[in-house]
Chain A
Amino acid sequence: MEHQPSEFFSRRQFLKDGVWTVSAALGGAASALLAARSRRQGWLWQIDPYKCIACGRCATHCVLTESAVKCVHAFALCGYCDLCTGYFGPEPKALDTGAEHQLCPTGAIRRRFIEEPYFEFTIDESRCIGCGKCVVGCSAFGNGSLFLQVRQDRCLNCNECSIARVCPSRAFVRVPADQPYLLKDAAS
């Protein structure tokens, strides 16, 4: 006599329901575990300025045509020098704002006289391309008050940051969203 599986209950259906229930339970448990281990806050990419060597890859490797990385100037750290090695090229013929004397390829740093002998340097963000040339100059001979940071309003927050992948000093780190910047402070 041939076995006739009933419409409501067959071995295959029973097995299938069993597997479904078990996998649903396992999936539920795994989901609960993952959700419990997760946290509401997301991560953002940021540059640790103390690790960064300003190699210049930030300017070229960002998925944005104009990199999300730009230079930041911590005024509190700045010496307000007349001969700013972050502003002027290696051998400036004159300490004036002529483009040929400037280090910045886009002229993004503005120099303003404050009082003898101090000058204020501000960064025109719309011009900065994040190449880090000024950062190299400033940290080599100055206070290191110029440094690169990912501008969080520009950054697309790619899951795998394409600059982080090529960063030679592994200065790109994930930071919690409520501390979006890693600034240099005057105390350190």
Chain B
Amino acid sequence: MKRLALAGLGLGLGIWAAAAQAAQRFPPPQFETDYQIPTVHLSPPREALWEALDAAVLAAALSAASWLVFKKRSRRWIAALSVFSLLYFGFWRRGCICSVGALGNVVLSLFDPSYVLPLTAAVFFLLPLLFGLFFGRVFCGAVCPLGAIQDLVVFRPLSVPFWLETALRMIAWIYLAAAVLMAAAGSGLLICRYDPFVSFFRLSLNTPLWILGLLCLGVGVFIARPYCRFVCPYGLLLRQMSRLSFWSVRITPDECIQCRLCEEACPLGAIEPPTAPWPAKLLPAERRRLGLLILLLPLLMALGGWIGYRLHPVLAAGHPAVALAEQVRLWQSGKMTERTDEIRAWETSGKPAESLWPQEAAVLQKFSLGGLLAGIFVGFAAGVKLIQVSIHRVRKEYQANRAGCLACGRCFAFCPRQQMREKARAVSAEKKQVEG
């Protein structure tokens, strides 16, 4: 009988629509045989221990990188460590978790009370910054898998003019502001979404991301590490840490003899030559320019804020609440005739359309304030950058730019004094061997 009733129900209703809340239409049977209802067995996730291991590997890799950069001073070992990081954090851990993306988690945990930051994410976010405060950007040089994959293809590095380098870095500031805004407003984690190398790490087919990744690597042949220099928002934070770092990477272990041999050594253009003394007659003009730039700062902030505010509907469009409200509006006005999955989901949820508008309005309000603040922030960054580049700094020797140096160690071998040291070390080691 049951079979018939079922058949009638199944076939009679031609509509094959889904109901989200399926009722208990048919009571569980009372079996006469000794059949036991099986229990559902679902495989558990990875042990939490593995996450602790990731954090431990990160700490170990950062320590090793600092030691290699400051004590061992060996490019070969730094490169080996970066390949290890690429294999471990990239291909083995499939690109998640990473410090660059952990920025999004931190922002999310600050703005979304339901999201508590996992300790691993906190460690991944903080540890490289902490190391940055002491040793500079050792994370970028040898630990970051995104950096490591780009470092492998630096074959024909061209030098990028200073003004272009500085201007292009604004992309990263805008990206940072946008990523923080999106994470804070609940639109998702931008940095993870557009991570150009993660589809390599996962060997997954995502055509736009593969194109992006291959483009980065292709450009990276000629312009070393383009993502790190012009896009990476976490790199910006590390730049600031590195500016303040207690110890900074030195090209030479001893005093610079200004032999100019390291001048072309840095593929990132982070080596700065000694400066000529400042001609006194230029001073008044320079001072005037600096004064104007300082006056320009609030103007740039205002302009940025205005643009950010004007852009907020565009920025908010990706937020699920806004996107849904927009679709429902189109659906109800009959402008959209195709019944999308989103409309279907909304209909089955049983929520009235009126409940969507306040949600949308709340998100838009968040974005209007957020857009304004993000714009002010970008304007501030641009203004400070202008001021920064117009302040004259005296350098007496060849130096690695504290913010720009990624601690890759390529310049070490170019320095004759380093080579002398290494030779002396080799000779003394040989002596020891002979004596021993």
**Real complex partners, A and B?**
yes
- Which residues of A pack against B, CB within 8 Å? 16, 19-20, 23-24, 27, 31, 34-35, 37-44, 50-55, 57, 63-65, 72-83, 85, 88, 90-91, 95, 114-115, 117-118, 120, 122, 135-144, 149, 151-153, 155-160, 162, 165, 168-170, 174, 177, 180-181, 183, 186
Name the B residues within 8 Å of A156 (CB-CB): 94, 96, 202
- Inter-chain contacts of B105 with A (CB < 8 A): 159
Contact A140 B28 (CB under 8 A): no
Instruction: List B contacts of A35 (CB < 8 A).
Output: 119, 122, 126
From B9, B24, B206, B346, name the one whose CB has the most chain A CB atoms within 10 angstroms: B24
CB within 8 Å for A168 and B345 given contacts A34-B106, A42-B120: yes
**A contact residues around B20 at 8 Å (CB):** 50-53, 139, 169
**Complex alpha-carbon distance, A126 and B42, angstroms:** 13
Cβ-defined contact, A160 with B192, below 8 A:
yes
Instruction: With CB as the reference atom, state the residue of chain A lying closest to B38.
Output: A75
Given A82-B3, A153-B45, A159-B189, 18 new contacts (CB under 8 A):
A23-B244, A34-B126, A38-B116, A40-B48, A42-B51, A43-B118, A63-B202, A75-B37, A75-B38, A77-B28, A79-B28, A85-B10, A141-B9, A152-B42, A158-B192, A159-B104, A165-B188, A174-B115
Residues on A with beta carbons closer than 8 Å to the beta carbon of B348: 53, 169
Sampled A-B contacts (25; CB under 8 Å): A23-B133, A31-B130, A35-B119, A40-B118, A42-B120, A43-B115, A74-B40, A75-B39, A79-B29, A80-B29, A81-B3, A88-B10, A118-B29, A118-B31, A122-B38, A139-B18, A140-B22, A143-B23, A143-B25, A143-B26, A149-B42, A155-B45, A165-B188, A169-B346, A169-B349
Beyond A72-B40, A90-B16, A141-B10, whether A159 also contacts B341 by CB under 8 A is no
Of A63, A120, A140, most B-chain CB atoms within 10 Å: A63
Is the CB–CB distance between B28 and A41 below 8 Å? no
Residues of B with C-beta under 8 A to A181: 42
Q: Which residues of A contact B48 (CB under 8 A)?
A: 40-42, 177
B residues near A (Cβ < 8 Å) are 2-3, 6-7, 9-11, 13-14, 16-29, 31-33, 35, 37-40, 42-46, 48, 51, 94, 96-97, 101-102, 104-106, 109, 115-122, 125-126, 129-130, 133, 188-189, 192-193, 198-199, 202, 204-206, 244, 246, 320, 340-342, 344-346, 348-349
Q: How far is the CB of A88 from chain B (nearest CB, A)?
A: 8
Specify which chain A residues have a CB less than 8 angstroms from the CB of B3 in the assembled complex.
Answer: 81-83, 95, 117
User: Is there an interface contact between A65 and B205, defined as CB atoms closer than 8 Å?
Assistant: yes
Least CB distance, B302 to chain A, in whole angstroms: 27
Docked pose: A134 CA to B21 CA in angstroms = 15
Q: How far is the CB of B17 from chain A (nearest CB, A)?
A: 6
CB distance from B127 to the nearest CB of A (A): 9
How many angstroms from the CA of A34 to the CA of B102 in the assembled complex? 12
- CB-CB under 8 A from B206, the residues of chain A are 63, 162
- The answer to whether A81 touches B22 (Cβ under 8 A) is no
Q: Bound state CA distance, A160 and B130, in angstroms?
A: 25
Q: Is the CB of B118 within 8 A of A55?
A: no
A-B contact count (CB 8 A): 220
CA distance A39 to B48 in the complex (A): 12
User: In the complex, are the beta carbons of B340 and A142 less than 8 A apart?
Assistant: no
Tell whether, in the assembled complex, residue B344 and residue A55 are in contact, meaning their CB atoms are under 8 Å apart. yes
Interface pair A38/B118, CB less than 8 Å apart = yes
Q: Pick the residue among A90, A160, A169 that contacts B345 (CB under 8 A).
A: A169
Q: Contact between A20 and B244 (Cβ–Cβ < 8 Å)?
A: yes
B101 CB, nearest partner CB in chain A, Å: 5
Residues of B within 8 A of A169 (CB): 20, 341, 345-346, 348-349
Which B-chain residue is minimally distant from A135 (CB atoms)?
A: B18
Q: How far is the CA of A149 from the CA of B19 in the complex (A)?
A: 17
B109 in contact with A91 (CB, 8 Å) = no
Give the most central of B40, B104, B121: most A CB within 10 Å: B40
Using CB atoms, name the residue of chain A closest to B7. A83
Q: Are A140 and B205 in contact (CB under 8 A)?
A: no
Q: Which residue of A lies closest to B348 (CB)?
A: A53
Q: Is the CB of A63 within 8 A of B122?
A: no
For A51, A88, A140, A160, the residue with the greatest tally of chain B CB atoms inside 10 Å of its CB is A160
Tell me, rounded to whole Å, the shortest Cβ–Cβ distance linking B259 to chain A.
24
Task: Please measure, in the bound complex, the distance between the C-alpha atom of A34 and the C-alpha atom of B117, giving whole angstroms.
Answer: 8
Q: Shortest CB–CB separation between residue A170 and chain B, in angstroms?
A: 6
- Whether A31 lies near B126 (C-beta < 8 A) is yes
Complex-state Cα separation, A31 to B11, whole angstroms: 62
| Chain B residues, Cβ within 8 Å of A53 | 18, 20, 341, 344-345, 348
- Report B-chain residues with C-beta under 8 Å of the C-beta of A76: 28, 37
Q: How far is the CA of A168 from the CA of B3 in the complex (A)?
A: 35
Q: Closest CB-CB distance, B188 to chain A, in whole Å?
A: 6
Q: Which residues of A contact B31 (CB under 8 A)?
A: 114-115, 118
Shortest Cβ gap from A139 to chain B (Å): 4
Contacts A117-B3, A136-B16 given; indicate if A72 touches B45 (C-beta within 8 A): no
With A53-B18, A155-B45 as known contacts, state yes or no: A38 contacts B122, CB within 8 Å: yes
Measured between beta carbons, the chain A residues less than 8 angstroms from B96 are 156-159
Chain A residues closer than 8 Å to B202, beta-carbon distance: 63-64, 156
> A35-B119, A138-B22, A180-B45 are contacts. A55–B341 as well, Cβ < 8 Å?
yes
